[in-house]
Amino acid sequence: MKIIHTSDWHLGRTLYGRKRFEEFEQFLDWMLNTIIQEQADALLIAGDIFDTTTPPNRAQSMYYRFLCRTAASTCRHVVIVAGNHDSPSFLNAPRELLRELNIHVVGNSSTDPADEIIVLYDSSGEPELIVCAVPYLRDRDIRRSEPGESFQDRDRKMQQGIMDHYAGITEVANKLRNEFGTGIPVVVMGHLFTQGGKTVEGDGVRELYVGSLAHVPAEIFLSKTDYTALGHLHVPQSVANNETVRYSGSPLAMGFRESTHKKSVCIVEFKSRNGVASSAKTAESNKTGSGSDNHSGQCKPSIRLVDIPVFQKLMRIEGALDTITDQLSELVKSGQSILVEIEYTGESAIGNLRETLEEMTVGTQIEILRIKNLSFNRSAMKPVRPQETLDELTPEDVFVRCMDNANVPEETRPDLIRAYREILQSLHETDSHAE
């Protein structure tokens, strides 16, 4: 059986206000073609399908059109779990209809592990894959607040709650596998942050949890499962050097600092019960590994990555004025369509920097989306300058400035910042589509 693992599409995401629908449409077309070329049997999407809980109509249209086209292709199954950016109730709303197309959606967690276990059947009605489809676990899903508990107690309970949830669902899945008596693979899907995971500044990866962020140890995935398909981190990577526990990463660069990273999807292939590979298309030259020595499931998969093309080039330029103008001139000469972010780090204050740089790109396919002029902002926590915009600040930057203006003592700030983060988390996790 051949599976494609992807995640973190973030349909509807903008880049400094610029819409990216054409890029998303190109990716979805490429994704469908890859499914067909690979003759994939199942597609697993590990969360953050949309960028917000209220996605624009065009993003919704792209999503449903893709699912319909996929259901009509060689792909027999699609399994989707919600991420922290998704609205559980929005994803769940059409799931009964989608199930008729063999598209399975799990938007929210359940107290009964069986509700998150999906058995996929082959054309003859025999079970061929067990999927533990775990969505993003929200704070209220995994712990109960108690009066007077410390931040440390809260962090510990959250981490333990996540670990217990995964342990419970994998235990049920393996009992089910034993009942089938066929040795079929067990795959876990999840949307979370594992310890040691790699991120990139400005990649849009929202901190899932307050405090320790409930980074869970990778060891919870190394027992009795055959592959773990994770979402949330945008950098494609294996976890704890185990090739069977992977983040597929985002298909597009979500920020300029991601622009130099290769994007990919994971092809996971299990041999059939008679030991013959389900497809002869696995190319040795493209393999990233065939499982780790730590693999403890019953079905050892082969794993390789397929690179995703760059549909819109992004470029980040940083330095003094001469460096910026030289690099910008080279981009103009290339004749390519390029979105640019510029960070001026020179010592001299240049009041007309934006006008100077934008004049260089008039009549070209170069589009400057952001210019950050550090000469106006040497001290990050000073009162804002007239030219400064909110996209240069994080919500926490603004909160810190408020504390500065209120002369809040340094010793009380850590607790205030943690409480502020907790409020932000609560806002992000509110499902606007729920009753």
Residue from 323, 374, 319, 378 nearest 350 by CA:
374
Same fold, 2-307 and 312-376: no
Whether residue 252 contacts residue 307, with contact meaning beta carbons closer than 8 Å, is answered with: no
Number of other CB atoms surrounding residue 326 within 10 Å = 11
10 Å CB burial of residue 264 (0-12, 13-18, 19+) is middle
Phi-psi region of 50 (alpha: psi -120 to 50; beta: other; left: phi over 0): beta
State residue 379's pLDDT score: 41
97-105 long-range Cβ contacts below 8 angstroms, 24+ apart: 98/67, 101/67, 101/68, 101/71, 102/71, 102/76, 102/77, 102/78, 103/67, 103/70, 103/71, 103/77, 103/78, 103/79, 104/77, 104/78, 104/79, 104/80, 104/131, 104/133, 105/80, 105/81
Q: Domain 2-307 belongs to what topology?
A: Purple Acid Phosphatase; chain A, domain 2 (3.60.21)
What's the CA gap between 3 and 42, in Å, rounded? 5
Strand 14-15 and strand 338-344: pairing? Answer: unpaired
Whether residue 344 contacts residue 324, with contact meaning beta carbons closer than 8 Å, is answered with: yes
Q: What is the mean pLDDT of each successive set of 10 residues along the chain, which is 435 residues long?
A: 96 93 98 97 97 94 97 95 94 95 94 90 92 90 68 77 90 92 90 81 52 65 84 92 92 90 95 48 40 56 96 94 94 94 85 88 93 64 52 74 84 81 69 64
Q: Where are the domains of the chain?
A: 2-307, 312-376, 394-435
* Residue that has been written with the tokens 């106006």 in this structure: 376
State residue 205's pLDDT score: 61
3-state secondary structure of 19: strand
State residue 427's pLDDT score: 66
Q: CATH for 312-376?
A: 3.30.160.720
Which DSSP letter does residue 154 get?
H
Q: Strand pairing partners for 188? A: 132, 228
Residue from 363, 297, 292, 372 nearest 340 by CA:
372
State residue 209's pLDDT score: 43
State residue 406's pLDDT score: 80
pTM of the model: 0.82
What's the CA gap between 66 and 29, in Å, rounded? 8
State residue 286's pLDDT score: 40
State residue 285's pLDDT score: 36
State residue 267's pLDDT score: 98
State residue 276's pLDDT score: 41
Whether residue 211 contacts residue 262, with contact meaning beta carbons closer than 8 Å, is answered with: no
Express the helix, strand and coil content of the chain in percent, nearest 5 each: 35, 25, 45
State residue 151's pLDDT score: 67
